[in-house]
Amino acid sequence: MLKLYLRLLSSCTTVNQVNRFVIALENRLTPSEFDSLSTELNDHYFHGLGFFGKKRAIQRMMHVERRAFYAVNKIVVSLKKSLKRKPEPYLRLRVKKNIQLYSDSTYDSNNKTLIIGFTGNHKRLMLPVAVFLNHISSKKFDLLLLKDTKRDGYRSGITGITNDIHGLIGELGLFCDSDKYKAVVSLGTSSGGLPAVLTALNLELDKAVFIGGAGPSNIKWKSAKGFNSVEHVTDRAVNLKKPANVLCLYSADIIADELNVEDLANYISVKKVSIRRFLPHKKLGHGFLNEFVKQYRFSSFINKVLDVSKDGLGSKQRATRPSTIWLF
């Protein structure tokens, strides 16, 4: 791991190149890989050095080395906010181009929930993959992660697999065998939000989680090839064997995100949850999941979100009015 890291880093000469290199690591590596890389980096740079020796070694680093080193350590700090003694032992398996499965084969999938993750334009679920995975148990979950390299909200499918959203959903149906997994949840952030809902409706999944996504009336979706909002959202929901379990989360400070949830609610019944801050002068951004991580609350939050036994976030949640989660 260390040799590959140093070789790739050596080709970076600007801060922008280092940032892109680190983002590529964040969107790929597992918790165990990040933990191992951090240990190897500390041994590589600071072997046998005391506190002041480490400080001088950091000062002697090239600026690109220093920036990458701090970025890796920052991820490891976020991993530790799951309060786990060891990183979750997920392994990464390339299923197809831009589709990867994160799983621990030690545990039987019959006792697990499969998460189908639709990333947004930044190819992540609002968090580095390792941080997301370290807050959920590898005994209970597998993650099938999709990356939208075309950056068009999966409206034209995924490169090399299919050229529209309907073909992509059909492809994903191959992974949703009820005999293989205890439950299947689709989760989409940003531009992956609506595709997650469409997948859950078409494949009759146990739950859909929509975080900061676009609504069906969005002009880009209205003009998407073969997409009809009534036919592919409302009609699909009406014909399900049981009511769709769709949970929508959004930052209360982002008006566009709130309007998108209201738009989706015009087509199907959803459970709405707004995320707010106690302090009104501190605005909560679109990608609010990292705020849960910072406050040591992401583990309890995401496990509740992914719980298919809960209608939305719980039986007392009303469909007509949003419930609220408060952050500091």
Q: What is the DSSP string of 28-66?
A: T--HHHHHHHHHHHHHHHHTT--HHHHHHHHHHS-HHHH
Single pTM value for the model: 0.92
Sorted by where each begins, the domain ranges of the chain are: 2-80, 91-327
- Is the model more confident about 35 or about 60? 35
Share above pLDDT 90 across residues of the chain, in percent, rounded to a whole number: 61
Question: How many angstroms separate the Cα of 189 from the Cα of each of 71, 104, 111?
Answer: 23, 24, 25
Q: What tens digit of pLDDT does each residue of 246-291 get?
A: 999 999 999 999 999 999 999 999 999 999 998 877 889 999 999 9
Residue 316 has pLDDT above 60, yes or no: no
Chain position carrying tokens 């040591």: 296
Predicted local confidence at residue 320, as pLDDT: 57
86 vs 313, more confident: 86
- Residue 239 has what pLDDT? 86
Q: Is the pLDDT of residue 234 over 70?
A: yes
- Which residues are CB-neighbours of 67 under 8 A, at least 6 positions away? 15, 18, 19, 22
From residue 221, alpha-carbon distances to 7, 170, 195, 209, 328 in Å are 42, 19, 10, 19, 35
Predicted confidence band of residue 65 (pLDDT cuts 50, 70, 90):
confident
Weakest-pLDDT range from 56-60, 136-140, 208-212, 264-268 = 56-60
Mean pLDDT (whole number) for 135-145: 97
| pLDDT given for residue 9 in this prediction | 86
What's the whole-number average pLDDT of the chain?
Answer: 90
Tell me what the mean pLDDT of segment 10-35 comes to: 92
Q: Averaged over 69-89, what is the pLDDT? A: 89
pLDDT, residue 85, reads 85
β-pair partners for 272? 248
Residue 142: predicted pLDDT:
97
Residue 322 has pLDDT above 80, yes or no: no
DSSP string, 86-126: S----EEEEEETTEEEEE-TTS-GGGSEEEEEE--TTSSSS
pLDDT score for 279: 82
Domain 91-327 sits in CATH 1.10.3720.10: no
Nearest of 30, 129, 25 to residue 87 by alpha carbon:
30
Taking residues 25-46, report their average pLDDT.
Answer: 90
pLDDT for position 51: 75
